[in-house]
Amino acid sequence: MTKQKAADEVFCRSCGEAIKQASELCPNCGVRNDNYSRGGGTAGDVHDPSRYETSVSDTWWYGVAAGTGIWVLLVLAAAASSDLGAAGGLLVLIGWVGLPLSVYFDIQYVRANSEWDPNVGVWVVLSALWFVNIVAGAAYLYRRHQVLGEP
Ligand SMILES: [Zn+2]
């Protein structure tokens, strides 16, 4: 049996019936349509910056940049086996607390002022992990630049 479908139809993954792409469930067997598309324009899971209000300043990215810089410095120092002594301990403390903190506050600003809605938990954890935080910090600032045009 040859199955035919129109341009706006897809085949049901369960029963193989041709069903409208716009239908969420297959009318024949009731299984969810994998190719279901809402046809765009519907809100819902689209990030809406106006849902967020924040009085956080837009300068937290300086902290993100400085924190990332500190970690680069620490990694370079570790690679060179140079002992930074007490200063090194202080830098670790500043980097470890400062970077995730800056990321946390900056995200409040970013999601209220751009279409980007960063996942707070993920970014804070990434910015607290050794080595990973250098990449995360750079990626964060790059993405921030894309959506906000700054820094
Ligand atoms: Zn079906």
- Which residue has better confidence, 101 or 11? 101
**Residue 1 alpha carbon to ligand 1 centre in Å:** 16
Q: What is the mean pLDDT of residues 122-133?
A: 94
**Residue 41 alpha carbon to ligand 1 centre in Å:** 27
Q: Spell out the domain ranges in the chain.
A: 1-42, 55-148
Say yes or no to pLDDT of 73 above 70. Answer: yes
Alpha-carbon distance of 112 to 56, in angstroms, equals 10
- Residue (of 56, 58, 73, 41) closest to 145 by Cα position: 58
* Per-chain mean pLDDT for the chain: 87
pLDDT tens-digit readout, 3-41? 788 888 888 889 999 988 888 889 999 988 877 665 444
**Residue 38 alpha carbon to ligand 1 centre in Å:** 19
- Report the amino acid identity of residue 119: N
3-class DSSP assignment, residue 125: helix
pLDDT grade, residue 78 (50/70/90)? confident
**Residue 32 alpha carbon to ligand 1 centre in Å:** 8
Alpha-carbon distance of 132 to 95, in angstroms, equals 13
Say yes or no to pLDDT of 2 above 80. Answer: no
**Residue 6 alpha carbon to ligand 1 centre in Å:** 16
**Residue 4 alpha carbon to ligand 1 centre in Å:** 14
Contact in structure between 126 and 95 (CB atoms under 8 Å): no
3-state secondary structure 46-68: CCCHHHCCCCCCCCHHHHHHHHH
CA–CA distance from 65 to each of 58, 78, 141 (Å)? 13, 20, 7
**Residue 39 alpha carbon to ligand 1 centre in Å:** 21
**Residue 43 alpha carbon to ligand 1 centre in Å:** 27
Alpha-carbon distance of 84 to 71, in angstroms, equals 13
* Total Cβ atoms within 10 A of residue 63: 19
